[in-house]
Amino acid sequence: MLILSGLFLAAPLIFFTPTPPEPVLSVSTTEEIRTYVKQEAIRNGVSTTVALWIVEKESQFDPTRTGDDDKICGRTGEQQRSRGLWQISDCYHPGVTDECAYDPICSTEWALKHLKRGYARQWSVFRFCKAWWPASCPL
């Protein structure tokens, strides 16, 4: 308390409670990845059936998977790779870094934006699902 010329001035009490750090999101096991993809699909208004089906067929829920490395990119003439859970092609999506493609959170965010815009057919497993998996195709 401060006294000036007979006046009492009380400094306001300010309480500061630090915000605890956000918990690190664990999406490393197949079940955690499945749960994460499903909850993010719901949050983004995307069919959970389609999202989970694409991830299952593309990578079997393995974020470290690399595929299509036996193919040559028609755009660049170089060997191409499809990366991560969603098998994001570095030929057709060169703006997606390896860091994002192999990260379950970043790649799921990227993929769900594309699915929400109606681009499910960019995944060959979806485009050809009736021919390749007629019993389980979500179309």
1 domain-assigned: no
| 87 domain-assigned | yes
pTM (2 d.p.): 0.78
What was the pLDDT predicted at 27? 79
- Long-range CB contacts for residues 91-95, cutoff 8 Å, separation at least 24: 92/122
Phi, psi values for residue 113, rounded to 5°: -60, -40
Domain assignment present for 63: yes
Residues of the chain with pLDDT under 50: 1-4, 7-24
Provide the domain count of the chain.
1
Q: Which pLDDT score, from 0 to 100, does residue 25 have?
A: 59
Does 134 map to a domain? no
88-89 vs 66-67, strand pairing mode? unpaired
Of 108, 111, 109, 80, the C-alpha closest to 94 is 80
**Domain hosting residue 41, numbered range:** 27-129
Q: Rounded to an integer, what distance in angstroms lies between the CA atom of residue 3 and that of residue 134? A: 84
In this predicted structure, what is the pLDDT of residue 104?
96
Evaluate whether residue 21 is within a structural domain.
no
Q: Is residue 106 part of a domain?
A: yes
What pLDDT is attached to residue 6?
53
In a domain? residue 71:
yes
CATH number at residue 68: 1.10.530
End-to-end CA distance of the chain: 73
Residue-level pLDDT at 56: 96
Residue 84 lies in a domain: yes
